C-alpha cells in the first residue's frame, strides 16, 4: 500500500496556494502593524511564530516518519526572524533515511520554497550533528539556539543533552572571542565606515549576540535580565543594551523592507529613505541621512564598549582565578591579571583627575592589556565629572599632554579614550564630530575616525618596523623636536567639519585656544594653529600647480617660512591623505609631495639654483645616464635641438634619458612612436607618445585609455620646434588585476599606435554611468578659468563627479573651442575628480569666448 505522503502528493500540492496566502497575508499584517509602531522585538517574535505555524501545517502533510524532527536554528531558532532573512532549519534524523523517505524530505524542502519560505537547511543525524559541532564553531553556535518546531521531541532532547555533555565552556569562549576579532578585522576594526553592516560591523547586532551565546553556552543565562540576576551587568546597563538593540533591530527591519531583499548594509541608496522613516529632517548644513548615521555610529560605539565590559565579566566567571597576584602601581591603582584596576571603584567620583591618569598608566606599563570590567564601569559612570571645571584644571592639562608625549601607546590610548567617551568630553569640539559623515566621496570614514586614522599614520612614521613604507617621513619625524605638535595638529585639523564656513579657519581658532590652555609655548601653539589652517595647502600645490616653475616653489617657500614648518606640513599632509581612504593615496601623489618638499627645502636653505642652472644640471645628469647605454656621445643632439627649455624643466633627468634613448633615430619619423614602461615611482605605467602634432591628439589618447579602463593621473604635453608632439602620460589600472606587465605594455604600444594611425573621426566619449554614491550624493560641477601668474597660459580647474568618459568630454570640448593643452594633472579623490589643465589659445583673451567655453564645459560635465 503506498505511503500517505506519496498518496496525498496531489492533495498537498493543491494546498500550496493556501499556505502561500496565509504566509503572505500574515507578513502583510506584520508589516502594517510594524508601521504603526509595533516594537521590533515583538515583530521578530511574531514573524517567527507565523513561520512556525505554517511549517507545522506543512509538516503534518509531509508523510515523514515519526523519527524525524524539524528544528529551528540560528536567528530563527532564537525567535528573531527579520523580514527577508533565511529560515534556518535542521532536519534531525535518528538514522539515515531510506530512499522513499529521503524523497519525501526533498519534496518537503521544495514545498517550503514553493510556499515562499527562503530556507537554509541541513539534514543530519544526531551523531553527524555532534561531529560537526566538534569541528565548526558556527555549527556549534547555531545548535546552541536550536528550538524544536515539530517532529520527534525525544530525539531533539537527546541532541540538546548530548551537546551540553560535550560543551567546553573555556574553548567556546576563546573561539567566539577569536571569531569576533576576525570579524572586526574584516571591517578594519572600526564601526565608522560610511556604509556599515548592521549585523556584522563592530558595534553591530553580532556583538550583542556574541555575549548571549557565551552566556547561554556557559549556563549563565540567555536574556539580558538573566545577566542582571547573575551580576554580569547592572540593571542600568541592561536598559541601555535593550535600547541600543531595539534601535538596530528597528533599523534592520526597515532596511529589509526598503531594499525588498535581505540586505544588512546601510548603503547610501537607502540612508535617505530610512532617515525619513525615523522622522529626521534635514538641517543646515546636515542631511537627514547624516543625522540617522550619526545616531547609528553612537549606538555602535556604546555597544562596542558594553561588549568589552561584558566579555571581561564573562571571562572572570568562566576562568576564575583565586590566587591572582595583585601588584600595587600607586595608591590609586593596582594591576590584576594584567588589567588595570582602581583600588577603589569610587576613585573616579572622588578624584576625577584619575580618569586621565589611568590612560597614562596604560602607556607606562606595557604589560597591562586594558582595564578591568569594574574599573571600566566606574569610568563610564564618572564621565559626567569631565565638565568645564575638569577641563580648566592645570593638573588635567598636564596629564593630557603627558599622554601625547609618551614614547608608546599614543594612538592606542587616544582611540581607547574615544571608545570610552572620554576624548569627546575632554575636547567638546571633538564630541561634535563623533559619528559625523563626510559626503565628499573620498573620505570613507566619519570625521572622528578619520582624525584618529591621521594620528595613527603620524605615529606609524615613528615605528622602526614600518620605516620601509615611507622612508623620508620616518627619517624626518625622528629628527622633529616635540612631535606632540604634529599630534595636536592632526587632532584638530578637521575638528570644525560640519559647522558651516571654512573648517580650516574655524579649527585654527579651536587649536590655538587648546594649545594656550595646555601650556604650549607661543611658537608651538602658533605652529599647531598654522598647520590646522594650512593642512590642505601642500596637497593642493603639489597636485594642481606646475612644480617645474621656480616661482611656484618660491611662493610655497614663502608660505611655510622655515624648515620646521615645511617638515611638519609635509608629514601632516601625507598622514592626512593616507587617512582618507585606502584608495586615495597612490605613488604619484607621494612623488609630487616629495618633489615639492625637496624643492622647497632647497629654496629655504638658500641653495636654490636659477632656472638655467636647473636645466644644465638635468642635462648633465641625463647625459651621464645615456653614457651607460654606450650611445654615441652626440646621439642626443638631434632631439635636444628641437626641444625648448620648458621640456627640460618639467622632466627629470631619468625620464629625459629614457625618451632620448628611444627617439634618437626617430626625430623626423613619419609614423607615431609609442613606448611604455613600468613607472619608476613604483606604481602605474608611463607612456611616451611621439608623433606629428594634431589638434585632436590629446582627445584620441584619452579615449584610448578610457576604453581599456585605465585612469590617467598626469599628462605632460610638449611640442617640438619642428611640429612634433612629445607627450608623456602616467596611467593606472584601478583594478590592479593586470600582473602580466610585459603583455600589457606591448598591448598599449601596439594598439595606441594603431589608434593614432587612423584618420577616422573622433569616437564619442564613453557614456559612463554615475556610481550609486554620486547618484545619491551628487557633486555640482565647477569650472574656473584664469590666466596664470606670468600671463603665458590659462589655468583651467575642473571639479566634477568622476565617471568613465569624463576626460574625453573635457578634451573634446577644448578641441571644439580651438584650445591647446600644455599640461594636465588628473586628480581623482575617491569619486571626485579635481583636474587642472594648463591651456593656451588665441580666443582665451576674449571674455565672450571664455564664457562660451566655460558654459560648454559645465554642460558636458552634467551629462
User: Is residue 613 included in any domain, yes or no?
Assistant: no
Phi, psi of 251 (to 5 degrees): -65, -40
Q: The CATH number of the domain where 105 resides is what?
A: 3.30.460.10
With a pLDDT cut of 90, the percent of the chain lying above it is 67
Number of separate domains in the chain: 5
CATH number, position 388: 1.10.110.30
Shared-domain flag, residues 140 and 8: yes
Q: Based on the domain organization, do 265 and 385 belong to the same domain?
A: no
Q: Which pLDDT score is estimated for 107?
A: 87
Quick check: 675 and 656 in contact, CB under 8 A? Answer: no
In a domain, 609, yes or no: no
| Between 737 and 193, the higher pLDDT residue | 193
Please say if the pLDDT value at position 156 is more than 90: yes
Together in a domain, 815 and 797: yes
Residue 5 pLDDT > 60? no
Measured CA to CA, the distance from residue 260 to residue 267 in angstroms comes to 13
Q: What is the pLDDT of residues 531-549, one digit of tens each?
A: 999 999 999 999 888 888 8
The residue out of 373, 396, 426 marking a domain boundary is: 426
Co-location of 466 and 564 in the same domain? yes
CA distances from 51 to 34, 54, 89, 146, 266 (A): 17, 5, 12, 15, 26
Q: Is residue 621 part of a domain?
A: no
What integer best gives the mean pLDDT of the chain?
90
**Cα–Cα distance measured from residue 513 to residue 535, given in angstroms and rounded to the nearest whole number:** 18
Same domain for 420 and 525, yes or no, is no
pLDDT tens, position by position, 32-87: 999 988 899 999 999 999 999 999 999 988 888 899 999 999 999 999 999 999 99
**Grid cell of 311 as nine digits:** 566579555
| CATH code of 714's domain | 3.30.70.260
pLDDT higher than threshold 90 for residue 295: yes
Q: How far is residue 44's CA from residue 32's CA, in Å, rounded to a whole number?
A: 14
Given pLDDT bands bounded at 50, 70 and 90, which one contains residue 3? Answer: very low
pLDDT of residue 649: 84
- Listed residues 143, 167, 191: the one ending a domain: 167
Please say whether the beta carbons of 533 and 419 come within 8 A: no
Domain final residue pick, 404, 426, 448:
426
Q: Which grid coordinates are listed for 50?
A: 507565523
The sign of the torsion formed by the CA atoms of 171, 172, 175, 180 equals: negative
Q: What is the CATH number of the domain that holds 193?
A: 1.20.120.330
Same domain for 641 and 745?
yes
Which residues constitute the domain of residue 436?
429-604
Same domain, 339 and 472: no
Interatomic CA distance for residues 293 and 193, integer angstroms: 10
Mean pLDDT (whole number) for 704-724? 89
C-alpha cell belonging to residue 544:
594642481
Residue bearing cell 634618437: 664
Residue-wise pLDDT for 307-362, tens only, equals 998 998 899 889 887 667 889 999 999 998 889 999 998 999 999 999 999 999 99
Find all residues with CB under 8 Å of 113, minimum gap 6, and list them.
119
Q: SS3 for 676-715, per residue?
A: EEECCCCCCEEEEEEEECCCCHHHHHHHHHHHCCCEEEEE
Let me know if residue 614 belongs to a domain.
no
In a domain, 111, yes or no: yes
Q: Inform me whether the pLDDT recorded for 4 exceeds 70.
A: no
Residue 159 shares a structural domain with residue 187: no
- Are residues 809 and 738 both part of a single domain? yes
**What would you report as the CA-atom Rg of the chain, rounded to the nearest whole angstrom?**
33
pLDDT of residue 440: 59
| pLDDT band at residue 6 under the 50/70/90 scheme | very low
How confident is the model at residue 766, as a pLDDT? 78
Instruction: Give yes or no for a contact between 451 and 493, defined as CB atoms under 8 angstroms apart.
Output: yes
pLDDT at 608: 61
Contacts of 83 (CB under 8 A, 6+ apart): 27, 31, 47, 253, 256, 257
Are 413 and 496 members of one domain? no
Report pLDDT digits (tens) over 435-487.
888 765 567 788 999 999 999 999 999 998 888 889 999 999 999 999 999 99
Q: Indicate whether 335 belongs to any domain.
A: yes
611 within a domain of the structure (yes/no): no
Domain membership of residue 625 (yes or no) is: no
Give yes or no: residues 27 and 139 share one domain: yes
Q: pLDDT tens-digit profile of 594-646?
A: 999 999 999 998 866 566 777 888 899 999 999 999 889 999 999 999 998 88
pLDDT of residue 768: 66
Domain identity same for 203 and 239:
yes
| pLDDT score recorded for residue 97 | 79
| Residue 271 CB coordination number (10 Å) | 24
What is the band of 205 on the pLDDT scale with cuts at 50, 70, 90? very high
The string of pLDDT tens digits covering residues 783-842 is 999 988 777 889 999 998 888 888 889 999 999 999 988 888 887 776 778 888 889 898
pLDDT tier, 220 (very low <50, low <70, confident <90, very high otherwise): very high
Tell me the three cell numbers of residue 235: 540593571
Residue for cell digits 502533510? Answer: 61
Q: String of b and e for 310-341 (b: at least 16 CB within 10 Å)?
A: bbbbbbbbbeeeeeeeeeebeebbbbebebbb
| Predicted local confidence at residue 153, as pLDDT | 95
Query: Is 827:794 a contact under the CB 8 Å cutoff?
Result: no
Amino acid at each position: 500500500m503506498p505511503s500517505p505522503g506519496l498518496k496525498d502528493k496531489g492533495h498537498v500540492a493543491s494546498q500550496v496556494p493556501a499556505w502561500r496566502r496565509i504566509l503572505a497575508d500574515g507578513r502583510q499584517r506584520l508589516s502594517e502593524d510594524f508601521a504603526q509602531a509595533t516594537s521590533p522585538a515583538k515583530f521578530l517574535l511574531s514573524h517567527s511564530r507565523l513561520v512556525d505555524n505554517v511549517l507545522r501545517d506543512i509538516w503534518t502533510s509531509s508523510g515523514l516518519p515519526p523519527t524525524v524532527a524539524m528544528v529551528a536554528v540560528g536567528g530563527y531558532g532564537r525567535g528573531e526572524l527579520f523580514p527577508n532573512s533565511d529560515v534556518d532549519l535542521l532536519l534531525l534524523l535518528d538514522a539515515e533515511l531510506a530512499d522513499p523517505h529521503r524523497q519525501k524530505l526533498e519534496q518537503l524542502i521544495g514545498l517550503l520554497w514553493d510556499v515562499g519560505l527562503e530556507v537554509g537547511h541541513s539534514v543530519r543525524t544526531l551523531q553527524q550533528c555532534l561531529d560537526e559541532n566538534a569541528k565548526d564553531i558556527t555549527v556549534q553556535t547555531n545548535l546552541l539556539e536550536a528550538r524544536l518546531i515539530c517532529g520527534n521531541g525525544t530525539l531533539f532532547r537527546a541532541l540538546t543533552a548530548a551537546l551540553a555533555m560535550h560543551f567546553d565552556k573555556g574553548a567556546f569562549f576563546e573561539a567566539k572571542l577569536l571569531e569576533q576579532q576576525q570579524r572586526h578585522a574584516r571591517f578594519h576594526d572600526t564601526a565608522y565606515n560610511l556604509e556599515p553592516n548592521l549585523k556584522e560591523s563592530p558595534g553591530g547586532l553580532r556583538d550583542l549576540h556574541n555575549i548571549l551565546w557565551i552566556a547561554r553556552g556557559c549556563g549563565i543565562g540567555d536574556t539580558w535580565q538573566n545577566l542582571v540576576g547573575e551580576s554580569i551587568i547592572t540593571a542600568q546597563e541592561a536598559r541601555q543594551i535593550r535600547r541600543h538593540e531595539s534601535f538596530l533591530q528597528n533599523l534592520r527591519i526597515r532596511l529589509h523592507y526598503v531594499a525588498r531583499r535581505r540586505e544588512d548594509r546601510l548603503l547610501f541608496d537607502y540612508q535617505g529613505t530610512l532617515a525619513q522613516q525615523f522622522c529626521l529632517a534635514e538641517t543646515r548644513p546636515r542631511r537627514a541621512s547624516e543625522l540617522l548615521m550619526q545616531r547609528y555610529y553612537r549606538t555602535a560605539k556604546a555597544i562596542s564598549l558594553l561588549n568589552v565590559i561584558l566579555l571581561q565579566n564573562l571571562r572572570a566567571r568562566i576562568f576564575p582565578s583565586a590566587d591572582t597576584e595583585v601588584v600595587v602601581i600607586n595608591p590609586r591603582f593596582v594591576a590584576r591579571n594584567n588589567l588595570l584596576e582602581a583600588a577603589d571603584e569610587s576613585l573616579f567620583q572622588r578624584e576625577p583627575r584619575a580618569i586621565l591618569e589611568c590612560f597614562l598608566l596604560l602607556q607606562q606599563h606595557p604589560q597591562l592589556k586594558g582595564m578591568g570590567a569594574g574599573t571600566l564601569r566606574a569610568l563610564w559612570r564618572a564621565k559626567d565629572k569631565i565638565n568645564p571645571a575638569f577641563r580648566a584644571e592645570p593638573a588635567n592639562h598636564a596629564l593630557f599632554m603627558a599622554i601625547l608625549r609618551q614614547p608608546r601607546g599614543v594612538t592606542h590610548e587616544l582611540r581607547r579614550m574615544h571608545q570610552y567617551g572620554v576624548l569627546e568630553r575632554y575636547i567638546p569640539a571633538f564630541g561634535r564630530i563623533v559619528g559625523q559623515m563626510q559626503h565628499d566621496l573620498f573620505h570613507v570614514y566619519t570625521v572622528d575616525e578619520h582624525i584618529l586614522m591621521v594620528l595613527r599614520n603620524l605615529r606609524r612614521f615613528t615605528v622602526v618596523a614600518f620605516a620601509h613604507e615611507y622612508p623620508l617621513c620616518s627619517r624626518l619625524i625622528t629628527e622633529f623636536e616635540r612631535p606632540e605638535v604634529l599630534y595636536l595638529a592632526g587632532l584638530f585639523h578637521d575638528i570644525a567639519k560640519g559647522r558651516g564656513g571654512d573648517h580650516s579657519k574655524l579649527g585654527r581658532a579651536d587649536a590655538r585656544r587648546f594649545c594656550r590652555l595646555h601650556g604650549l609655548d607661543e611658537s608651538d601653539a602658533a605652529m599647531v594653529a598654522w598647520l590646522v589652517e594650512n593642512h590642505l595647502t601642500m596637497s593642493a600645490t603639489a597636485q594642481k600647480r606646475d612644480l617645474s616653475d621656480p616661482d611656484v616653489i618660491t611662493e610655497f617657500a614663502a608660505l611655510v617660512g622655515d624648515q620646521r614648518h615645511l617638515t611638519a606640513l609635509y608629514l601632516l599632509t601625507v598622514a592626512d591623505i593616507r587617512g582618507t581612504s585606502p584608495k586615495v593615496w597612490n605613488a604619484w601623489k607621494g612623488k609630487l609631495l616629495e618633489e615639492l618638499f625637496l624643492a622647497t627645502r632647497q629654496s629655504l636653505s638658500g641653495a636654490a639654483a636659477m632656472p638655467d642652472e636647473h636645466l644644465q644640471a638635468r642635462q648633465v645628469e641625463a647625459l651621464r645616464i645615456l653614457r651607460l647605454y654606450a650611445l654615441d656621445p652626440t646621439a642626443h643632439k638631434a632631439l635636444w635641438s628641437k626641444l625648448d627649455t620648458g621640456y627640460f624643466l618639467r622632466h627629470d633627468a631619468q625620464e629625459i634619458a629614457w625618451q632620448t634613448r628611444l627617439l634618437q633615430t626617430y626625430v623626423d619619423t613619419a609614423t607615431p612612436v609609442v613606448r611604455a614602461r613600468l613607472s619608476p615611482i613604483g606604481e602605474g605605467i608611463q607612456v611616451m607618445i611621439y608623433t606629428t602634432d594634431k589638434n585632436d591628439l590629446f582627445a584620441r589618447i584619452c579615449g584610448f585609455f578610457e576604453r581599456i579602463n585605465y585612469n590617467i593621473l598626469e599628462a605632460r604635453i610638449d611640442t617640438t620646434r619642428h611640429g612634433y608632439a612629445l607627450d608623456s602620460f602616467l596611467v593606472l589600472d584601478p583594478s590592479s588585476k593586470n600582473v602580466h606587465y610585459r603583455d600589457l605594455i606591448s598591448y598599449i604600444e601596439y594598439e595606441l599606435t594603431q589608434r593614432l594611425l587612423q584618420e577616422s573621426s573622433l569616437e564619442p566619449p564613453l557614456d559612463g554611468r554615475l556610481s550609486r554614491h554620486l547618484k545619491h550624493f551628487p557633486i555640482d560641477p565647477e569650472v574656473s578659468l584664469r590666466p596664470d601668474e606670468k600671463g603665458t597660459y590659462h589655468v583651467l580647474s575642473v571639479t566634477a563627479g568622476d565617471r568613465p568618459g569624463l576626460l574625453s568630454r573635457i578634451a573634446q570640448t577644448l578641441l571644439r573651442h580651438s584650445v591647446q593643452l600644455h599640461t594636465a594633472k588628473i586628480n581623482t579623490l575617491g569619486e571626485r575628480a579635481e583636474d587642472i589643465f594648463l591651456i593656451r589659445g588665441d580666443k582665451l583673451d576674449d571674455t565672450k569666448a571664455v564664457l562660451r567655453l566655460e558654459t560648454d564645459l559645465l554642460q558636458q560635465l552634467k551629462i
